[in-house]
Structure 1
Amino acid sequence: MSSLEQSTKEIVEAVGGKENIAAATHCVTRLRFALKDESLVDEEKLNNLDLVKGSFSTNGQFQVVIGQGTVDKVYKEMVSQTGIGEASKEDVKKASEENLNPIQRAIKTLADIFIPILPAIVTAGLLMGINNILTGPGIFFDETSVVDEFPQWADLASIINLIANTSFVFLPGLIGWSAVNRFGGSPLLGIVLGLMLVHPDLLNAWGYGSAAAEGEIPTWDLFGLAVQKIGYQGQVLPILVASYVLAKIEIFLRKRVPDGIQLLVVAPVALLVTGFASFILIGPVTFFIGNLLTDGVISIFDNFAAIGGLLYGGLYALLVVTGMHHTFLAVDLQLANEGGTFLWPMLALSNIAQGSAALAMMFVLKDEKQKGLSLTSAVSAYLGITEPAMFGVNLRFRYPFIAAIVSSAIAGLFISINGVKAYTIGVGGLPGFLSIQSEYWGSFFIGMAIVLVVPFVLTFILAKVKKEK
């Protein structure tokens, strides 16, 4: 038996045997299991295997970090040994949901909706950063910008800005596609629904405030009922609720309408009913609720910036452990469309803090395998992916995790006091400064210095104290 075959056999045994595996798949670096009973997992045995770089449980899935390239070979060998059929990520998601309570399922639903559109949002954030470098005064010159000094660059900056803003102008279209797909409907109808809510014939949502103050909000007259003719650019809640309604109507109709006339009935009726419901009820109600929630968050940080930064900066890593961090994606996107998000910069610093603590463990630990895992997971965290560092290193030894969250809390307090904002969500690590509004770069870099140095030093101190005890 080859070493790969033996290691695969031991992985299966460590997760409770093939009888405990409901479904399994893999991503670029990890095996993903939906287990019937996670209490049967022997994590000590699993993590001591040479092939395994770490393991953790999240959103009802038990994940084993193997490494790029090797994970594919291990997965194929596991399928061969156990007879378990190859499953898609969607199959594992459905199987893993049986282990979740209602709150966890709601959080997972939000994650399933927002994670697929993150590449577009992150890209927009990076491009906004590039545009900011070109157009922001005082970055390279005392009081002027690059385009002021070199007008020939102005059109290039304008095109970059247009490309960057597209994801936000048509954000409901992106969310509609992902949400309707998640709720079981046709993604194409979700795109149409989202674009309908930002149709150019509607009053732009960003001009709603001034139009309301001047009493110039256009309306439709539906048999005596005045319906405001406004768009929902940059809004999250209206399209989320409307997507759910659209998907449920479509599913209802598909079960009852004969196949021969479905094309003529299902989509038109579903879109028409959802469209009227969106403009008459869903849109106005959720628009009000969304603004109320956003204003509440802004008010907290306006009045209690230090406490807000300390708590969010410190607790963000714990939110990641529980999966609840996905609920803040919607808040971040909403804030981004109202002048900038002050939450996301703390996320970026929290990720860096986890990386610094993991990097310190490379020098603390003696085992070569653990040292290698600490280094690779630290690099991953510095680039915005913290799960290997958190679950593979920091939480396993506890004190580096404590060092990271304490440092992140201090940095969060500092940048919150200084009002640091990002244009939008970006790369949640060292490249994250590109998404920060240029006037806050100085404060953000100080915050970054805190989470680079303090977790590293504090982990060393805690390791020495632990050893002396």
Structure 2
Amino acid sequence: MGAYSKQAEQIVDAVGGKENIEAATHCVTRLRFALKDESKVDESKLEQIDVVKGSFSANGQYQVVIGQGTVNKVYQDLVNQTGIGEASKEDVKKASEANLSPLQRAIKTLADIFIPILPAIVTAGLLLGLNNILTGQGIFFEESLIERYPQWADIASVINLIANTAFTFLPALIGWSAVKRFGGSPLLGIVLGLILVHPDLLNAWSYGAAEEAGEIPTWNILGLTVEKIGYQGQVLPVLFASYLLAKIEVFLTKRVPEGIQLLVVAPVALLVTGFAAFILIGPVMFTVGNVITDAVIYIFDTVPLLGGLIYGGLYSLLVITGMHHTFLAVDLQLVGSQLGGTFLWPMLALSNIAQGAAALTIGFLAKEERLKGLSYTSALSAFLGITEPAMFGVNLRFRYAFVAAMISSAIAGMFISVNGVLASTIGVGGIPGFLVISKGMTSFLIGMVIVLVLPVILTLAFSKFAKQK
């Protein structure tokens, strides 16, 4: 008998019994179920279980928030005590995909591609933040730290090189994850990504200047003029090329005799995909990506109040639906554009802080010790960028707290949008977010004060109104 066998059995009972479970696995903080019929879930029963901090349905999976460090123990007892076989995340994903609409499948695909590479990108973002501190003017002194202390300049240079690597070779990271997701060889995905940023190609960040000067290098392929450009910082070209590569590889693997697969499959797949990437996929997707980027920039340049209100206010709802994953691609596209940063990610960071502040306020108001403890721990988690415990375990249960966080995030979003706040990349989406702010640091810090203070005031006010009702 494990330490959490009783709670495991209670959870299984609350989700409709083991006969209602197609497959079950867990991530860092949550149990993930592929259920036959989600209408059989008894949420009131789930809320009474002491280890459960919240529950929700997303992407065809029913997810029960347990918390880091405990969830794996609960899962193991769930497997041992109920006889439900251990399943991988892939098993649960496959079992749950039957419940998804085409839009949900598309969103889930993007999530499956970008989530695995997030640790590398967030780490790079934090290191870029450290580099910003060393090289930014007006932070500690009128001049930068390396100008005041020149002996630190080479240290900053090495940090910048390490930090920039993930973004310089971003297509390789995306290629690895995307080809793996589409059923191909991840190694070929890496090679494809590196092909698209080969040093012999014109660097994508130099494209604008080269176009003005009329100096874009080209190939002549059977009379067809093809621009010889790289796709540094680009997301869409490598995504579509990865899909093509994986499908060609799978097609050939099924039809080429095993004895000569090594000589045929990978060379043909890479050759066909490489030509297609430079002749068709790259130019088309480069244009599409720039149009999307320019449209988003235009909205925030023309009506920053509206852009900040919508994205800052509604980001929490995007998290509930899972659609927030789609904006990772937009953030990365913005970072790789001439703008050199993203104005969306700072609003994400402030939205997370707002949810944490609202959950913290519920902790102040709570009389029940379990709710008080849950509110405090989930608030801390939100302040460090993980909002699910705060949102699903606390704020959505007290709807006014969730609304208070959304209103506060919308106001802060409008403020930092009007003041042109930019992040050099994506980082930890909470209080440590200030480390990657490259423009408008003072405005971002004011926005941070807004989302720390206003949710407290609004949650307190809304709670009094809710009691009167």
Give the match for residue 409 of structure 1.
410
Give the match for residue 58 of structure 1.
58
Percentage identity across aligned positions? 75
User: Aligned equivalents of 1:69 and 1:122: distance in 2?
Assistant: 22
Give the match for residue 175 of structure 1.
174
What amino acid is the match of 1:428?
G
Give the number of aligned pairs.
Answer: 467
Q: How does 1:60-459 map to 2 (within 5 A)?
A: 60-142=60-142, 144-338=143-337, 339-437=340-438, 439-459=439-459
Q: 2:62 is paired with a residue of what secondary structure?
A: strand
Q: 1:140 is paired with a residue of what secondary structure?
A: coil
Query: Is this contact kept in 2: 1:55–1:391, CA < 8 A?
Result: yes
Query: Is this contact kept in 1: 2:385–2:429, CA < 8 A?
Result: yes
Residue 304 to residue 180, structure 1, CA distance change in 2 (3 Å): same
How far is 1:220 from its partner? 0.9
Q: 1:416 is paired with a residue of what secondary structure?
A: helix
Report Cα offsets for 1:66-96 as digits up to 9, x if no partner: 2344323322222123222111111111111
Query: Is this contact kept in 2: 1:356–1:456, CA < 8 A?
Result: yes
How far is 1:132 from its partner? 1.0
What amino acid is the match of 1:156?
I
What amino acid is the match of 2:65?
V
User: Aligned equivalents of 2:229 and 2:5: distance in 1?
Assistant: 61
How far is 1:127 from its partner? 1.0
Give the match for residue 9 of structure 1.
9
Query: Is this contact kept in 2: 1:56–1:392, CA < 8 A?
Result: no
Q: 2:386 is paired with a residue of what secondary structure?
A: coil
User: Aligned equivalents of 1:98 and 1:82: distance in 2?
Assistant: 24
What amino acid is the match of 1:86?
E
User: Aligned equivalents of 1:67 and 1:425: distance in 2?
Assistant: 24
What amino acid is the match of 2:91?
D
How far is 1:9 from its partner? 1.6
User: Aligned equivalents of 2:231 and 2:70: distance in 1?
Assistant: 46
How far is 1:309 from its partner? 0.5
Report Cα offsets for 1:7-57 as digits up to 9, x if no partner: 222111100000110100122332111111111100001111122222222
What amino acid is the match of 1:7?
Q
Give the match for residue 46 of structure 2.
46
Q: 1:184 is paired with a residue of what secondary structure?
A: coil
- Structure 1, 335-344 or 28-37: larger mean CA deviation: 28-37
Report Cα offsets for 1:113-152 as digits up to 9, x if no partner: 011111111111111111111111111112x111111110
Q: 1:231 is paired with a residue of what secondary structure?
A: coil
Q: 1:185 is paired with a residue of what secondary structure?
A: coil
User: Aligned equivalents of 2:153 and 2:7: distance in 1?
Assistant: 58
Query: Is this contact kept in 2: 1:180–1:186, CA < 8 A?
Result: yes
Residue 342 to residue 127, structure 1, CA distance change in 2 (3 Å): same
User: Aligned equivalents of 1:222 and 1:235: distance in 2?
Assistant: 24
Aligned-CA RMSD value: 1.2
Q: 1:404 is paired with a residue of what secondary structure?
A: helix
Residue 70 to residue 330, structure 1, CA distance change in 2 (3 Å): closer
User: Aligned equivalents of 1:431 and 1:69: distance in 2?
Assistant: 22
Report Cα offsets for 1:150-170 as digits up to 9, x if no partner: 110000000011111111110
TM-score with structure 1 setting the length: 0.98
What amino acid is the match of 1:159?
V
User: Aligned equivalents of 1:3 and 1:441: distance in 2?
Assistant: 47
Query: Is this contact kept in 1: 2:358–2:404, CA < 8 A?
Result: yes
User: Aligned equivalents of 2:375 and 2:290: distance in 1?
Assistant: 42
Query: Is this contact kept in 2: 1:9–1:78, CA < 8 A?
Result: yes
Query: Is this contact kept in 2: 1:433–1:444, CA < 8 A?
Result: yes
Q: 2:229 is paired with a residue of what secondary structure?
A: coil
How far is 1:105 from its partner? 0.5
Report Cα offsets for 1:301-322 as digits up to 9, x if no partner: 1000111101110011011111
How far is 1:457 from its partner? 1.3
How far is 1:3 from its partner? 7.4
Report Cα offsets for 1:242-275 as digits up to 9, x if no partner: 0000000000001101111100000000000000
Q: 1:450 is paired with a residue of what secondary structure?
A: helix
Query: Is this contact kept in 2: 1:358–1:375, CA < 8 A?
Result: yes
Report Cα offsets for 1:285-312 as digits up to 9, x if no partner: 0000100110010011100011110111
Query: Is this contact kept in 1: 2:67–2:389, CA < 8 A?
Result: no
Residue 407 to residue 22, structure 1, CA distance change in 2 (3 Å): same
Query: Is this contact kept in 1: 2:408–2:454, CA < 8 A?
Result: yes
Query: Is this contact kept in 1: 2:53–2:392, CA < 8 A?
Result: no
Residue 255 to residue 3, structure 1, CA distance change in 2 (3 Å): closer
Query: Is this contact kept in 2: 1:353–1:451, CA < 8 A?
Result: yes
User: Aligned equivalents of 1:468 and 1:352: distance in 2?
Assistant: 28
The answer for unaligned runs of 5 or more in structure 1 is none
User: Aligned equivalents of 2:96 and 2:464: distance in 1?
Assistant: 40
Q: 1:396 is paired with a residue of what secondary structure?
A: coil
Moved over 4 A (4+): none
User: Aligned equivalents of 2:148 and 2:403: distance in 1?
Assistant: 48
Give the match for residue 466 of structure 1.
466
User: Aligned equivalents of 1:72 and 1:209: distance in 2?
Assistant: 50
Q: 2:260 is paired with a residue of what secondary structure?
A: helix
